[in-house]
């Protein structure tokens, strides 16, 4: 009798697992990030501008990047985890291969000259920015004599972002709104996180079409075979008329931000503690 009851329970359990609803992979991209290490913003505050410059010395602002998904990654020189995270970010960018996803690598703590030397030695996968000359865009967050991190401030000395440790990355959507923040190193090249990042630009994703370039006099042989003779003939006819055929262009995407309050988790999560 006991054996029958145990078998029945196992069967009920297996049937319940089989009937349980599953979450499609696309739902991760459309909703929240696939790990609770990300801290989400409910009201999606606008990303505040602050003074920074490109490696050419040109002024740069977050407003200029509106229309792209921006991963704004704060880092500094003496941060081993920052270098490790950059490898994950590079792999993610190559996996996605999307012009509407940009990594903005911001170093406001080392001199602009040092950041320029670093950029020359480490390629151009990211948009690298430093502080603008002598302007101070990062100030210490000191409470009762203890350094708890830094505030990134705008030209009016108002705090627009908080950096509790390094690396810290803010995720900004195509409309210039702060979606989430991650304190510490993240594995951005994991499939679930990469899909979530790509899903923050749905307008580009949904309207993206294949652009058929008309620079050649004939279709590639493999494409001719794939399309079949009726379509190929129509394409040849259209090409003979002269106009350039392209896909419908993708549409343009039209207080200090931080995570939850309280002390940040240092240890394995952070390459550099703000504690001096």
- 44-63 pLDDT, tens digit per residue, is 999 999 999 999 999 999 99
Q: Mean pLDDT, the chain, as a whole number? A: 74
Q: Give pLDDT, residue 124.
A: 82
**Which pLDDT does position 161 carry in this prediction?**
98
Distance CA 255, CA 178 (A): 12
Highest mean pLDDT among 164-173, 195-204, 249-258: 164-173
Q: Which pLDDT score, from 0 to 100, does residue 203 have?
A: 52
Fold of 25-208+256-269: Glutaredoxin (3.40.30)
pLDDT tens digits, 99-129: 999 999 999 999 999 999 999 999 789 999 9
pLDDT at 4: 39
pTM above 0.75, yes or no: no
Residue 142 has pLDDT above 70, yes or no: yes
Tokens of 219: 């279709």
Residue-wise pLDDT for 86-95, tens only, equals 999 999 999 9
In the chain, CATH 3.40.30.10 covers: 25-208+256-269
Note the pLDDT of residue 118.
Answer: 97
CA pair distance 31, 94, nearest whole angstrom: 23
DSSP-derived 3-state class of residue 100: coil
What is the three-class DSSP state of 162? strand
């Amino acid at each position: 009798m006991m054996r029958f009851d145990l078998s029945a329970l196992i069967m009920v359990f297996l049937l319940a697992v089989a009937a349980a609803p599953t979450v499609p992979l696309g739902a991760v991209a459309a909703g929240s990030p696939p790990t609770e290490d990300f801290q989400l913003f409910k009201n999606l505050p606008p990303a505040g501008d602050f003074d920074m410059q490109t490696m050419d010395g040109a002024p740069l602002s977050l407003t200029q990047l509106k229309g792209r998904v921006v991963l704004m990654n704060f880092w500094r020189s003496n941060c081993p985890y920052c270098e490790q995270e950059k490898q994950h970010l590079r792999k993610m960018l190559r996996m996605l291969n999307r012009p509407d996803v940009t990594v903005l690598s911001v170093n406001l703590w080392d001199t602009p000259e040092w950041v320029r030397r670093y950029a020359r030695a480490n390629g151009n996968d990211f948009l690298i920015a430093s502080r603008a000359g002598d302007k101070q865009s990062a100030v210490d967050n000191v409470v009762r004599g203890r350094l708890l991190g830094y505030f990134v401030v705008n030209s009016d000395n108002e705090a627009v972002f908080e950096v509790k440790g390094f690396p810290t990355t803010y995720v900004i959507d195509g409309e210039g709104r702060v979606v989430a923040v991650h304190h510490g190193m993240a594995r951005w090249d994991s499939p679930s996180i990469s899909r979530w990042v790509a899903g923050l630009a749905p307008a580009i994703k949904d309207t993206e079409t294949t652009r058929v370039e008309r620079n050649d006099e004939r279709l590639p042989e493999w494409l001719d075979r794939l399309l079949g003779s009726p379509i190929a003939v129509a394409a040849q006819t259209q090409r003979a008329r002269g106009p350039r055929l392209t896909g419908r262009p993708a549409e343009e995407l039209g207080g200090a931000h931080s995570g939850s309050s309280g002390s940040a988790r240092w240890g394995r999560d952070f390459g550099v503690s703000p504690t001096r």
